[in-house]
Structure 1
Amino acid sequence: MTSASASSRKALSKIAANRLQKELLEWQVNPPSGFKPKVTDNLQRWVIEVIGAPGTLYSNETYQLQVDFPEHYPMEAPQVVFIPPAPLHPHIYSNGHICLDILYDSWSPAMTVSSVCLSILSMLSSSTEKQRPADNDRYVKNCRNGRSPKETRWWFHDDKV
């Protein structure tokens, strides 16, 4: 088990649990368009169905996101990955890892699960081609044995997709 996955299994702090309960209630009352939470009894791991926006390359396609919350959420970003099969996208690896700055370096405690999901849907919607990142095979090979995307040093250089 990697250190990131081990730490993500620690119990949520009281602040994290309260914040997530508030966000979950908001999702139940007013889910963002294009998303459906899958109900589980685990507050620390959410599975969310993503429906591609009409008029985009991903129109009506359905994918699943897995969101794992660390002990100190929202001070620390959740780990967000697509459950394979992940969409074909220049910033989404075949193992489900997502190259999106708000999930790493640009995370802010003011962000919510809803804002993260909307950013991912926006990233999908703005894509002009369905393809894997150029380094997909090498990256996925290096991520064997359960390596977390949070252990990756991402290079955010392409804001066109």
Structure 2
Amino acid sequence: MTSSSAPSRKSLSKIACNRLQKELAEWQVNPPAGFKHKATDNLQRWVIEVAGAPGTLYANETYQLQVDFPEHYPMEAPQVIFLHPAPLHPHIYSNGHICLDILYDSWSPAMTVSSVCISILSMLSSATMKQRPADNDHYVKNCRNGRSPKETRWWFHDDKV
């Protein structure tokens, strides 16, 4: 992804900074299984390595998530995308955008980066076949000018994957 696909970068509020520093400290002591935070000096953008769970279609595969935090995190959801190459999955577009309700309509300030990561790993683990969403080409074409996945009106209808 290019920097043009990043959300507008307003600096984090004091509440967001405090919350993220707390989450990062907790992560360093007790990271969720299968995830590694790649150290950077940017609290507003995290890059997280994801290891596919054993016994799933994604076992022995590694991907990277980019998590961009908005000014008013945790009252507003972070933008979470897979960096290239994104896994082949019915809810993950080739540009890395993820169709997962907790990243949009069902976000709650009680959620953390760890809980989001666990939900994404669960979504990956429950896949029964590796394929792109049916509308992948159309969607990606419409996102070419750096459109954020948060600008998409997602339709959450598949509770099996």
Same fold (TM over 0.5): yes
Percent identity over the alignment?
Answer: 88
Give CA-to-partner distance per residue, 1:92-122, whole Å, 9 cap, x none: 0000000000000000000000000000000
Q: Shift of the alpha carbon at 1:5?
A: 1.9
Amino acid across the alignment from 2:51: I
* Counterpart position of 2:143: 143
TM-score of the pair, normalised by structure 2: 0.96
* Counterpart position of 2:15: 15
Q: How does 1:30-49 map to 2 (within 5 A)?
A: 30-49=30-49
TM-score of the pair, normalised by structure 1: 0.96
* Counterpart position of 1:155: 155
Q: How does 1:7-156 map to 2 (within 5 A)?
A: 9-156=9-156
Does residue 5 (structure 1) correspond to residue 7 (structure 2)? The answer is: yes
Aligned length in residues: 159
Query: Matched residues in 2 for 1:138 and 1:159: separation?
Result: 23
Query: Matched residues in 2 for 1:149 and 1:22: separation?
Result: 26
- Any idea what SS the aligned residue of 1:97 has? coil
Give CA-to-partner distance per residue, 1:20-77, whole Å, 9 cap, x none: 0000001111100000000000000000000000000000100000000000000000
Question: 5+ residue gaps in structure 2?
Answer: none
Amino acid across the alignment from 1:129: M
RMSD: 1.4
Query: Matched residues in 1 for 2:40 and 2:48: separation?
Result: 11
Question: 5+ residue gaps in structure 1?
Answer: none
- Any idea what SS the aligned residue of 2:7 has? helix
User: After TM superposition, where is structure 1 displaced by more than 3 Å over at least 4 residues in a row?
Assistant: none
Query: Matched residues in 1 for 2:84 and 2:40: separation?
Result: 19
Query: Matched residues in 1 for 2:60 and 2:25: separation?
Result: 26
Amino acid across the alignment from 1:114: S
Amino acid across the alignment from 1:58: Y
Contact 2:7/2:68 (<8 A) preserved: no
Amino acid across the alignment from 1:157: H
